[in-house]
A = this chain, B = another copy of it.
Amino acid sequence: MNIVLLDPRQTESELWSISSKRQLEHLRQHVDVQVGDTLKVGIREGKRYLTQIVEITDQVIRIQSIQEESVPKKLPVTLIVALPRPKVLRRLIMDAVTIGVEKIILLHSYRVEKSYWQSPFLQQLDQYITLGLEQAGDTIAPKIELYKRFKPFVEDVLPTLISENYPAYVAHPYVDAKMPYAIEHGCSVIIGPEGGFIPYEIDLLIKNGCQGVSLGNRILRTETAISYVLGRLFSAS
């Protein structure tokens, strides 16, 4: 947690209040906060501030704003990823948010188990976003969309996301073209499930405007591939 993210309602009085149990525990145990300390705070969907702690009780920490700080920019990228196993979902969303992905699309695919769509973890996406924002020092949540059917998404939605200055790259081990790097435009990045997309899916993606690109002959786990690819694509920024 590199900033404490507050709901706008917590910042309506002159003194702002931190009252979430998770945040209070973190501040007590990991940061050992004291009255007078400064604290970086963000307002969800709003600005970021350096604040000072003016009161600490069991239930609440009260702070006052000292000065505004800048909110980090997002990367101009739509991450389209096959829905991962529930235990990977939290880390994946948190990392994508931390890195600054603008929009996340969770997609069904042949090798995604149907049961993943029933996972209670899918109800907690907003919590994972909060954790990612607090890690990054960001305040603006990315958009998240879920598509439970592969073909209608690829045929009807995906083409509307693609343009000359906003291509879509699908990571695929068996093509010659390499994943580009240091790009200076936005793009969509499509990452398959464990075991990869099946040939039918790759064909459909490419038929609908995606560029199949290789990351070399090492096969990375989904979560690892996401940060590796984003580090590569946006190395110039």
Give residues of chain A (173-204) contacting chain B, Cβ–Cβ below 8 Å.
181-182
A93 to B232: give the CA distance in the assembly, Å.
20
Take A99-B224, A228-B99 as given contacts and tell me if A72 and B217 are in contact as well, using a CB distance cutoff of 8 Å.
Answer: yes
Name A217's closest neighbour in chain B (CB-CB).
B72
Q: How large is the interface on A (under 10, 10 to 19, 20 to 34, 35 or more residues)?
A: 20 to 34
Dominant secondary structure at the A interface: loop
Question: For the complex formed by this chain, how many copies does it contain in all?
Answer: 2
Name A230's closest neighbour in chain B (CB-CB).
B228
Contact of B135 with A236 in the complex, beta carbons under 8 Å: no
Q: Which B residues are CB-close (under 8 A) to A220?
A: 95, 98-99, 135-136, 227
Our pick among B219, B225, B229, B231 for the contact of A2 (Cβ within 8 Å) is: B219
Our pick among B70, B136, B224 for the contact of A227 (Cβ within 8 Å) is: B224
Residues of A within 8 A of B (CB): 2, 70, 72, 95, 98-100, 135-138, 181-182, 216-221, 224-225, 227-232, 235-237
